[in-house]
Amino acid sequence: MLDVQEEFARDYILPALQAHALYEDQYPLATALGRPLIARKLVEIARQEGATAIAHGCTGKGNDQVRLDVGVRALDPGLAVIAPARLWGMTRADEIEYARARGIGVPATVESPYSTDANLWGRSIECGVLEDPWIEPPEDIFTLTKSPAAAPDTAAYLELTFEAGVPSRSTACRCRSPS
């Protein structure tokens, strides 16, 4: 495990914040921002270890595999990229069973197949019924927040101070109820 929180905040989150980088003008690029850093660290470690390939567990369905594959190849075209789940054409159920049979702890189950990605800047959840925009998210998906139906009827506000596009450490965040 590598602790790259400072590097991620400084070199990825802060430039995205300053650029007002939003996916579809709605929410921060949290998951997407993490992939180039992961690719860079994979390449650095592969070089340190004298490896000729890196492997990842991304499926062929999502953008993560593209971000990692392209990132690794851009940084070191000589490294092979191996993606067993994609190469073997595994379904989500296949992936869960493969991990279970090998004692690899994954939070996903066939009944609750959600894929959750969280980093310093955000959290995304996908898979299962969440793939259909016409189906409301089930209650068990809300782990850090509440569904709108279970949320309080009163709003709360968080005020931050920025200096030159950077959140300021000199001013504490203030939470307040609407006036």
User: What are the tens digits of pLDDT across the range 98-148?
Assistant: 988 999 888 777 777 777 788 888 888 877 788 788 888 888 777 778 887
pTM for the structure as a whole: 0.76
pLDDT digits (tens, 9 = 90+) for 145-158: 888 788 888 877 77
Element (H, E) at 102: none
For domain 5-142, say whether CATH 3.40.50.300 is its number.
Answer: no
Q: Coil, helix or strand for 176? A: strand
CA-nearest of 16, 27, 26, 29 to 165 is: 16
Beta strand 80-82 with 53-55 is parallel
